[in-house]
Structure 1
Amino acid sequence: MITVWGGQTSRSLRVVWLLEEMGLPYRIRHVDMLSAEKDPAWLAVNPGDFLPAIQDGEVAMVESVAILEYLMGRYGPTPLQPSPGDPAFPAYQQFLHLGEAGLATLIMVPLVSGFIAPEAERDNWGARWARECVGRRQLLVRRQLQAAPYMAGETFTAADISVSYALRLGANHAGFALSGAEQDYLARTTARDAYKRAFARSHEGVPG
């Protein structure tokens, strides 16, 4: 049984979404990142104390996109991951990683500044720079959506799990504006039954 360590709005949603798409059994262990007292079992899995992480037998992994690649490689093949010879593979690979490295990681700077920093420090140079960087990377997403309904072309893949999470994070928690095409794209990806199940499972047993 795969154990997913996660939180209500964390990147663990990517992992749970993929597990639902692939029909793999799993359980969720919630982690309260704001708690001063950390679960020793959690810190044994990831002493860095950041989400998400998984345990799969003797394997423990962190970093959401790396976890997606591990699960697809170990339990695939799956249509969520085009083969290297597939014409869709380059776009798939690019957007799988852009969803985290180019979008979600940068989105965290203004998000954290807005929620945690003292009032006078929220509109800081780093947060403004990160917003500009995200805006430029959204141009790549928008260009792709002019050509195809999904990040790798005509078919939904794990790249869409990666990018969809980032766009929702930015729009819902950091005030990023989405174009009409991006909004339509999120409507398509989050209408999937696997996403709905993943979202519901990720919120089970969470107070509030």
Structure 2
Amino acid sequence: MITVFGEGRGFRVVWLLEEMGLAYRLRQVDLLAGVEKDPEFLAINPAGFIPAIRDGDVTMVESIAIMEYLMARYGPTPLAPVPRDPSFPAYQQFLHLGEAGLAASIYFVVGARNFAPESQRSNWSADQALSVFESRLTLVTRQLSRTPYLAGETFTAADISVNYALELAQTAAGVTLGKVEQSYMARNRAREGYQRAMETCPSRKAWLAKALIQ
């Protein structure tokens, strides 16, 4: 049984597992309470961040690496086009852009806007991180103006990667997304795999519901 530790970016992993129809369990990790109080989790990831997985003798951290592992280990799957497929370059680019270019930068904006002292919420570093996010977002907007999904006509793991980052930016950093991105996210949220993943992740479901109402 695959165990996923933590929601947050772990939602990517849970969504992927639902799309692939693989058995798993979600093990909650309370970062606010402090991971030093969770020795089982620290044994999996002594760095103390989520997500992580345990799959038999395998332990891994980093959401995109975990996704690539699962698709390679339990595939083949249409969620990961093969290298000879014409859609592969776009798939590979946006799979990694979703974290390296989007989520990694907006993460620091979220921290500044929500947790920093009032006088530091628009500091230079937060503004720079937002600028990085916005520049990378132009690549997503351009691609989605051409095709319904980031690798082309078919939903792939690249969409799981990027959709997470867009939701984070919209709901936690106050980023206003355009019609192209909004329509794209609506398509993704309509998927049964997404909806099942949301039911598995109660904290994320409650947080998103509250954020989207505001």
Amino acid at match of 1:131: L
2:107 matches 1:89: no
Cα distance in 1 for partners of 2:37, 2:151 equals 39
> CA shift at 1:120, angstroms?
1.0
Task: Let me know the Cα RMSD of the aligned residues.
Answer: 1.6
> CA shift at 1:135, angstroms?
0.7
C-alpha offsets along residues 76-127 of structure 1, whole Å, 9 cap, x if unaligned? 0000000000000000000000000000000011100112211111110000
Aligned to 2:211: none
Aligned to 1:169: 168
Equivalent of residue 17 in structure 1, options 15, 37, 42: 15
2:12 matches 1:33: no
Q: Which residues of 2 match residues 139-178 of structure 1 at below 5 A?
A: 139-178=138-177
Taking only the aligned residue pairs, the percentage that are identical comes to 59
Shift in alpha-carbon separation, 1:58–1:165, aligned structure 2, 3 A = same
Q: Which residues of 2 match residues 51-200 of structure 1 at below 5 A?
A: 51-200=50-199
Cα distance in 2 for partners of 1:116, 1:173 equals 11
> CA shift at 1:38, angstroms?
2.3
C-alpha offsets along residues 17-59 of structure 1, whole Å, 9 cap, x if unaligned? 0000000000011001011352100000001111100000000
Cα distance in 2 for partners of 1:143, 1:119 equals 35
> CA shift at 1:202, angstroms?
1.1
TM-score of the superposition, structure 1-length normalised?
A: 0.96
Amino acid at match of 2:11: L
TM-score of the superposition, structure 2-length normalised?
A: 0.93
What SS class does the counterpart of residue 59 from structure 2 fall into?
A: strand
What SS class does the counterpart of residue 21 from structure 1 fall into?
A: helix
Aligned to 2:212: none
What SS class does the counterpart of residue 80 from structure 1 fall into?
A: coil
C-alpha offsets along residues 144-190 of structure 1, whole Å, 9 cap, x if unaligned? 01110000000000000000000000001111110100000000011
Cα distance in 1 for partners of 2:141, 2:82 equals 24
Q: Which residues of 2 match residues 37-48 of structure 1 at below 5 A?
A: 37-48=36-47
Cα distance in 2 for partners of 1:180, 1:14 equals 23
Amino acid at match of 2:151: A
Runs of 4+ in 1 over 6 A off after TM superposition: none
> CA shift at 1:207, angstroms?
9.3
Cα distance in 2 for partners of 1:164, 1:20 equals 15
Cα distance in 1 for partners of 2:85, 2:63 equals 24
Q: Which runs of 5+ in 2 are unaligned?
A: 208-214
